[in-house]
Structure 1
Amino acid sequence: MKRLIQYFQNIKPNKTVLWCYLIWYLVTVYFYFDPSPKIWMNSIGISAVIGTALLLSVSSQGQDFWQVFRLYLMPFCVSSFSALIKGQNFFVIVSPRIEETIVAVTLCIVFLGTIAVIKKRF
């Protein structure tokens, strides 16, 4: 727990944005989950191809585990997100159902508030 608090105490704005992206993605998966293996296998395949290309594009720098993980996770999330919302009348990434958007925004605000509290208290 101490490592997690320390991580969030030192988190930079760019990583905070990535965490909010992940929250938004997870909320969308919660509301629109489709158990079809085709969606998830295609997303894994796209992740392998694009993630490897991204890794090769930054190979001159030293990467840690989490950076490599993100390079593969992002294409997986993008491809599965687009498959899940296809035909659902989303406006870019915003759900047509206000309740779902409120859940995603609220969770991001709670996350940002938690980060603010950790930075002030620790």
Structure 2
Amino acid sequence: MKGLIQYFYEIKIDKAILWCYLIWYIAIVYFYFDPSIKIWLNSIGISAVIGTGLLLSVSSGNSGESDRWQTFRLYLMPFCVSSFSALIKGQGFVVFISPKLQENLLSALCCILFLSFILGIKLIKAKLSNH
């Protein structure tokens, strides 16, 4: 738990935004989940192809240790995009915005709570280090 708190204390805005993307995705999957195996298998396939392409595009060619989190994200993002688009197809979404206000409000609230949590950790740690 201590490592997770330290991670959130050190997190930069770009990574916090990526976490908000994931939170929004999870909220939409909650509302529109489809148990069809075809959606999830297609998303895994797209993730494998596009994730590998992304990984190749950012690799430096060195045989050193790779950033496992970056590699995970490079495969996770195409999976989320493809499954998200399959789940919202024909649901009246505009880009990623749900036609139902309560779904947008809940997704936004979850992101705001997450960002508030991070801010709280940063403020508490800063206060503790000043004493």
Aligned Cα root-mean-square deviation (Å): 0.9
**Deviation above 2 Å: which 4+ runs of structure 1?**
none
Q: Quick one: which of 78, 82, 91 aligns to 2:81?
A: 78
Structure 2 counterpart of 1:63? 66
TM-score normalised by length of structure 1:
0.98
Q: How many residues align?
A: 122
2:8 is the counterpart of 1:8: yes
Distance 2:32 2:123 in 1: 36
Deviations 1:12-42 (A, max 9, x none): 1100000000000000000000000000000
Partner of 1:90: 93
What amino acid sits opposite 2:22 in the alignment? L
Residue identity in the other structure for 1:65: R
Partner of 1:111: 114
Secondary structure of the residue aligned to 2:42 is: helix
Instruction: Name the SS of the counterpart of 1:6 in structure 2.
Output: helix
1:2, 1:29 → 2: CA distance? 30
Instruction: Give the TM-score of the pair, scaled to structure 2.
Output: 0.91
Question: In the TM superposition, what is the alpha-carbon distance from 1:111 to its structure 2 partner?
Answer: 0.4
Gaps of 5+ in 2: 126-131
What is the CA–CA distance in structure 1 between the aligned matches of 2:19 and 2:66, rounded to whole Å?
19
Query: One-letter code of the match for 2:121?
Result: I
**Matched position secondary structure for 1:49:** helix
Separation (CA, whole Å) in 2 of partners of 1:17 and 1:40: 25
State, as a whole percentage, how many aligned pairs show the same letter: 67
